[in-house]
Structure 1
Amino acid sequence: MAWVGRVVGAVLAAAVLLVASTGLAIWWTARQDARPQSDAIVVLGSAQYNGVPSSIFEARLEHALRLYEEGVAPVVVTVGGKAAGDAFTEAEAGRDYLAQAGVPADGLLAVPQGVDTLESMRAVATTLTDRGWSSVVLVTDPWHAMRAERMAEDAGLAATSSPTRQGPAVQTRATQFRYILRETAAYLLYRTTGESVAGAPGIG
């Protein structure tokens, strides 16, 4: 029965290698910053409070604003629905924030759908495809970038990411490590089942 032990050991080793390589890929993607000329900048939603973006969401919006001002894309797309009882969607809160920051109305597009990244990416893909747009730069937290890119590509978009370097998600090494672990599990779940996962703020 020694072969049983060898098989079990091989399976465990493969599982450890898969988890480790996925975590390393998430870390590597988080360190990249791709901002090619694109049809749209897409800001992944996060919590908002009566129309006021949370600190995580604000960091993403500020980064998207800088990309817009640099001419990366002519339109900033905000995306995200709302929880029960909310008066505003994440997409509306983000759009209004950017409007107040000086982005003109024709440079903003709100897609008020999605309770997690997968739903949001599918809603954005449908909306942009209807307009003949396909290339996007995604703005989210660094550790979320790889999964967001994969979901956008699976939805039919040509996606790159320019993660924000500010906000609670990047404050401490402990926070970063926790997010990488969570994203590793979430990415593997998506690749295995095609489903999303909710939990940590703004990165379901």
Structure 2
Amino acid sequence: MGVRVLGAAVTAALLLAASTATAIWWIARQDARPASDAIVVLGSAQYNGVPSSIFEARLEHARELYDEGVAPVIVTVGGKATGDTFTEAEAGRDYLAQNGVPEDALLAVPEGVDTLESVRAVAAEFADRDWNSAVLVSDPWHAMRAERMAEDAGLDAASSPTRQGPAVQTRTTQLRYILRETAAYLLYRATGESVAGAPGIG
């Protein structure tokens, strides 16, 4: 009986992981662009104020959405690592300002060392401004977890992932990100916590 129970538990865990990975893959292929209060760009690495290639791809996609009239404001979010001069939010805001987005259409929220902290900080800013709806911009594989966290924080969230950048360059890279996100999503659903400090999946 014990072996059967163990086997059933392992099978159930594998099925859960497989179904989650499939859902991440499916949502990564969607692109929702409803008219919203703001476009929210989730932060990624920056180097002395210069966005990394992953972050730049997200920012360029957000600029495209802004130009299409999806929302009147782009919100950049993300704190900084020890020793950094700039936050991710500041680097993102400055990049967009230098590339044609009016300064009064930009809001930097310089908080958050992981996705969960970032979306909670954004939700607080939204509440202060009586905003509710957001289009989230991140990498495709990050979309499902980011959207779930944003909804749990009280936002009416949709996702419009970027299709450019290192996260989508090769199938091997895509598979690695899907596996990481599967683990991160299941951890969040089980514990309500994020995985700060884990490269690529915070």
Report the Cα offset of residue 5 of structure 1. 1.9
1:61-97, CA deviations, whole angstroms, 9 ceiling, x for partnerless residues?
0000000000000000000000111110000000000
Are residues 1:95 and 2:93 paired?
yes
Counterpart-to-counterpart distance in 1, 2:56 and 2:3 = 52
Corresponding residue of 1:16: 14
1:128-162, CA deviations, whole angstroms, 9 ceiling, x for partnerless residues?
11100010000000000000000000000000100
Counterpart-to-counterpart distance in 2, 1:103 and 1:142 = 24
TM-score, normalised to structure 1, is: 0.97
Counterpart-to-counterpart distance in 1, 2:65 and 2:183 = 30
Report the Cα offset of residue 199 of structure 1. 2.0
Corresponding residue of 2:126: 128
Are residues 1:7 and 2:10 paired?
no
Corresponding residue of 1:50: 48
Are residues 1:140 and 2:134 paired?
no
Counterpart-to-counterpart distance in 2, 1:102 and 1:7 = 60
SS of residue matched to 1:34: coil
Percent identity of equivalent pairs: 80
Q: Match of 1:24, as an amino acid?
A: T
Corresponding residue of 2:36: 38
Counterpart-to-counterpart distance in 2, 1:153 and 1:56 = 24
Counterpart-to-counterpart distance in 2, 1:157 and 1:67 = 19
Corresponding residue of 1:69: 67
Counterpart-to-counterpart distance in 2, 1:137 and 1:200 = 24
Counterpart-to-counterpart distance in 1, 2:125 and 2:5 = 48
Number of residues of Structure 1 aligned to a counterpart in Structure 2: 201
Counterpart-to-counterpart distance in 1, 2:113 and 2:2 = 44
Q: Match of 1:113, as an amino acid?
A: E
Are residues 1:185 and 2:176 paired?
no
1:149-200, CA deviations, whole angstroms, 9 ceiling, x for partnerless residues?
0000000000010000000000000000000000000000000011101322
SS of residue matched to 1:72: coil
TM-score, normalised to structure 2, is: 0.98
Q: Which moved more, 1:67-76 or 1:192-201?
A: 192-201
Match of 2:152 among 151, 154, 159: 154
Q: CA RMSD in A?
A: 0.7
Counterpart-to-counterpart distance in 1, 2:147 and 2:118 = 12
SS of residue matched to 2:62: helix
